[in-house]
Amino acid sequence: MTETTQTGGAAPGAATVAHSVVRLPPGLYFVATPIGAARDITLRGLDILASAEVLAAEDTRTLRHLLDIHGVALSGRPLLAYHEHSGAAVRPRLLGALAEGKSVAYASEAGTPLVADPGFQLGRAAIEAGFSVFAAPGPSAVLAALTVSGLPSDRFLFAGFPPATRAARKTWLREMKTVQATLIFYESPKRVGQMLIDLAETLGQERRAAVARELTKRFEEVRRGTLAELAAGFAGQAVKGEIVVLVDRAATIRAGAEEVEAALRERLVHLRVREAAAEVAEALGLPRREVYQMALRLEGER
Ligand code: SAM
């Protein structure tokens, strides 16, 4: 059966958005949904939501709203709530539907399921039971933020939400200090100011970074600068909305030798070798031992 529905109240002759009801092969379909702008859903994502025999969602109201916007009818199909608290109870029902040869579509509240959202355990259980698992890829705040950050995109580490308490967060951040990749964090607006201070203190004041807020929405904003500048900019500000924080990789001494040498020479005029090395390592987010070796060499040349 194929049904084509026009949505979006398009004027005659204007481009239209359409979805089709199709016969889906049995299996579990993870469908990415918008992180803001409702039209950021793929046509295939809509087809799957219009066609799956069983629907499940982290937030059923949000999914219903999205289906309404795009003119997708539920048509009596079951829509189950599958979230952090209901997962263990609802998973067997979804696996049961898969065992009956049905197609099951799952959407998290926003963005890509499994990315700081439920879905991993469901996907793993489906795979272990031998069912097919499919992705309908689409929006995710990680990639949207990386795209607009101006930071290197060749290699990145998505670290999710940092621990909420300061001591745990700083210990957790220290483990990432020398990672050679752009670091990407999700953070709540309440904590972003303190998070930027902690990032500057643990990874280095001078590291380049970006804060992406409310991407694809009305109050979208991207701030870019060093961690010290961003921390100062957010200090004492009440921030609202959804936020991604991105931090450039640690400079390697080889890559930034001139910068490190200049910083050391400046300090060696008035500091001992050990103190100068400690300050520079801290400011540039570099391994102390390597900076100390460089400082010793420069001191020997003086
Ligand atoms: N599964 C989602 C994804 O693929 O991006 C992420 C879900 S996670 C529970 C929600 C977090 O994602 C927010 O707290 C925020 O850090 C980030 N986020 C989601 N939408 C965003 C947006 N429009 N702009 C900036 N960050 C966003």
Distance 269 CA to ligand 1 centre (A): 47
Phi, psi (deg, nearest 5) at residue 250? -65, 135
Output the CATH code of domain 142-247.
3.30.950.10
Given this structure, which CATH class describes domain 23-139?
alpha beta
pLDDT by residue for the chain (302 residues), tens only, comes to 333 333 333 344 444 556 999 999 999 999 999 999 999 999 999 999 999 999 999 999 999 999 999 999 999 999 999 999 999 999 999 999 999 999 999 999 999 999 999 999 999 999 999 999 999 999 999 999 999 999 999 999 999 999 999 999 999 999 999 999 999 999 999 999 999 999 999 999 999 999 999 999 999 999 999 999 999 999 989 999 999 999 999 887 666 788 899 999 999 999 999 999 999 988 887 888 889 999 999 988 87
User: Ligand 1 test: best mutation among 33, 35, 84, 190, most atoms within 8 Å of CB?
Assistant: 35
User: Ligand 1 test: best mutation among 242, 245, 246, most atoms within 8 Å of CB?
Assistant: 242
**Atom of ligand 1 lying closest to residue 217 CA:** 23
* Domains 23-139 and 142-247 alike in fold: no
pLDDT of amino acid 255: 60
- The H or E element containing residue 56 is strand 54-57
Identify the residues whose C-beta falls under 6 Å from ligand 1: 35-36, 108, 110-112, 115-117, 140-142, 186-187, 212-217, 242-244
pLDDT of amino acid 8: 33
Phi, psi (deg, nearest 5) at residue 222? -125, 125
Domain locations along the chain: 23-139, 142-247, 257-301
Angle between helix axes 60-69 and 43-51 (nearest 10 degrees) is 110
